[in-house]
């Protein structure tokens, strides 16, 4: 009986080890202000490694092998940093996190939005217009991305779906400053402050927030077959709090740190 128990224990342990991801969890922030708590929690204290202009730090947060990435701001930086990290370090999942402006008027300052999906709201097509006819955004239609899976099959994505398991885990983490909500995290290399345009973006793309990186990192992760979740804290809303609160980057990183520790 003892031998049988030992055999079964070894079998279960082997199966668990086989299911366990071998690479790190990749956690991204665009700027240093979105990374501080994460870098401070890494053990042992890592050295910065660079690939081109993009920086990475690897260590452990609790039992989790974690790779922290400073992507830089904007879609080019986000896509390049994500592709390089996936090819070089083979992460099992990507969490892109940081600050976001509000698109949905139901959101409040300090709310955290979990990316049930992400959307590139700079992607559109417009009909022909003669010279002098002006610009009518009402005629613009959102344009989906077409990305090939690792199998080579193309798929059309009006939005990119977030990882269901990571979403459920993140929903269990409290936000001491506001709510934790599922939503559609929008991304474009834009900083929108005109309320009429923000309201139009919310209607046309069903976006709840705006940042400059999440959807572009997400699309790369899908193309390379890696799980992805975007997490953003609302740092400003033009209808209620039009001042950008930079400290939201630190608060969001603290939330993500607690998520990692819970995995």
User: pLDDT at position 21, please?
Assistant: 58
Superfamily of domain 22-125+138-262: Nucleoside phosphorylase domain (3.40.50.1580)
Coil, strand, or helix at residue 142? strand
Higher per-residue confidence, 69 vs 21: 69
Contacts of 31 (CB under 8 A, 6+ apart): 70, 72, 73, 98, 249
User: pLDDT at position 79, please?
Assistant: 98
pLDDT surpasses 90 at 112: yes
Rounded mean pLDDT of the chain?
92
For the stretch 33-62, pLDDT in tens is 999 999 999 999 999 999 999 999 999 999
Parallel, antiparallel or unpaired: strands 141-142 and 145-148:
unpaired
The region of weakest confidence among 17-21, 112-116, 165-169, 216-220 is 17-21
User: pLDDT at position 227, please?
Assistant: 98
Rounded-to-integer distance, Cα 251 and Cα 169, Å: 18
Q: Cβ distance 221 to 153 under 8 Å?
A: no
User: pLDDT at position 14, please?
Assistant: 44
pLDDT surpasses 80 at 27: yes
Higher per-residue confidence, 150 vs 171: 171
pLDDT surpasses 70 at 11: no
Nearest to 186 by CA among 98, 109, 118, 114: 118
pLDDT surpasses 70 at 71: yes
User: pLDDT at position 9, please?
Assistant: 43
Parallel, antiparallel or unpaired: strands 180-187 and 64-70:
unpaired
User: What phi and psi, each to the nearest 5 degrees, are found at residue 22?
Assistant: -90, -25
User: pLDDT at position 151, please?
Assistant: 87
User: pLDDT at position 263, please?
Assistant: 93
pLDDT surpasses 80 at 17: no
Confidence tier at 3 by pLDDT (50, 70, 90): very low
pTM above 0.75, yes or no: yes
The region of weakest confidence among 147-151, 152-156, 198-202 is 147-151
Rounded-to-integer distance, Cα 242 and Cα 195, Å: 11
Rounded-to-integer distance, Cα 129 and Cα 126, Å: 9
User: pLDDT at position 150, please?
Assistant: 86
User: E strands within 77-179?
Assistant: 93-102, 112-120, 124-125, 141-142, 145-148, 154-157, 160-161
Q: In the predicted model, what is the mean pLDDT of residues 91-100? A: 98
Locate the domains of the chain by residue range.
Answer: 22-125+138-262
């Amino acid at each position: 009986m003892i031998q049988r128990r030992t055999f079964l224990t070894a079998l279960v342990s082997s199966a668990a080890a086989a299911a366990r991801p071998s690479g790190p969890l990749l956690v991204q922030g665009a700027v240093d202000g979105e990374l501080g708590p994460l870098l401070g929690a890494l053990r042992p204290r890592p050295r910065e490694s660079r690939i081109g202009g993009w920086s990475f730090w690897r260590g452990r947060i609790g039992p989790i092998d974690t790779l922290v990435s400073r992507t830089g701001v904007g879609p080019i930086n986000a896509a390049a940093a994500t592709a390089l990290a996936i090819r070089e370090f083979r992460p099992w999942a990507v969490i892109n996190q940081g600050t976001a402006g509000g698109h949905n008027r139901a959101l409040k300052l300090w709310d955290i939005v979990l990316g049930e999906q992400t959307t590139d709201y700079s992607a559109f097509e417009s009909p022909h217009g003669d010279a002098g006819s002006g610009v009518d955004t009402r005629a613009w239609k959102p344009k989906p991305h077409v990305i090939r899976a690792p199998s080579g099959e193309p798929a059309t994505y009006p939005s990119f779906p977030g990882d269901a398991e990571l979403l459920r885990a993140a929903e269990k983490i409290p936000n001491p400053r506001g709510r934790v909500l599922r939503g559609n995290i929008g991304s474009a290399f834009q900083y929108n402050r005109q309320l009429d345009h923000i309201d139009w973006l919310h209607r046309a793309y069903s976006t709840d927030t705006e940042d400059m990186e999440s959807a572009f990192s997400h699309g790369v992760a899908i193309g390379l077959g890696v799980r992805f979740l975007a997490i953003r804290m609302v740092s400003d809303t033009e209808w209620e709090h039009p001042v950008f609160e930079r400290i939201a980057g630190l608060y969001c990183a603290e939330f993500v740190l607690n998520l990692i520790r819970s995995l």
